[in-house]
Amino acid sequence: LCLLFQIFRRADKNDDGKLSFEEFKNYFADGILSSEELWELFSGIDRRHSDNVDTEKLCDYFSAYLGEYRNVLSALEALNSAVLAAMDKTKLRYETSSKMEQFLTRFLLRETMHQLQSLQASLECAVDTVEEQAGRERKDIKKSETSVGLRSGRRCGRRGQKNVCLSPTDPYSGMLTTGLC
């Protein structure tokens, strides 16, 4: 998947097409796996023991474990392309459109944004749930390791936001919506 390649390119901070263990650890550390477990994973991917894993090898490794997320990531790629294409057309046509067409464009853009925000909130709730479960299963993790490599700001203030159903649909509206976990 092209999206996996793009994901791993973000982890490649020096843009050399491969990840050192430091880059790997900084990107993949989740506060659950220890540094030793991350090293074990890295070494399993780096079968030549070169102390670097190229992004293509990472894609191959993770592709084998995608399961249902293969469809999700493929749909995200398609969605990203569709949204960008729609925004490109909007940029070209908006100023010359009628007032009513401009209104409809603004409505559709806002609705698209709200749907994506609702989906994001559902995903955040799911991430919180599985991370909490993994944390309970792994109470022996050292406090110093929990802060290593966490993506800054990711969890900031999320608990204060609306909780969201893991099932992202409201049977009454048929649209993505917020609710209670």
- Supply the pLDDT for residue 47: 86
112 and 58 together in one domain: no
User: What is the chain's length?
Assistant: 181
- Domain with 21 in it: 2-63
Which CATH number is 46's domain given? 1.10.238.10
In a domain, 76, yes or no: no
* 103 plus 28 within the same structural domain: no
**Does residue 118 sit in the same domain as residue 167?**
yes
Same domain, 31 and 109: no
- Residue 175 is predicted with a pLDDT of 41
Q: Is the pTM of this model over 0.85?
A: no
Residue 18, phi then psi, degrees to nearest 5: -150, 160
pLDDT (tens digit per residue) in 52-64: 998 888 988 999 9
What is the tally of structural domains in the chain? 2
Q: What percent of the chain shows pLDDT beyond 90?
A: 57
First to last CA, the chain: 31
Spatial distance between the Cα atoms of 52 and 48, rounded to a whole number of angstroms: 9
Residue 142 lies in a domain: no
Same domain for 181 and 107: yes
Q: Residue 151: its pLDDT value, please?
A: 44
Q: Which has more pLDDT, 167 or 45?
A: 45
Are 102 and 41 within one domain? no
| In the predicted structure, residue 108 carries a pLDDT above the cut 80 | yes
- Let me know if residue 91 belongs to a domain: no
Domain contains 179 = yes
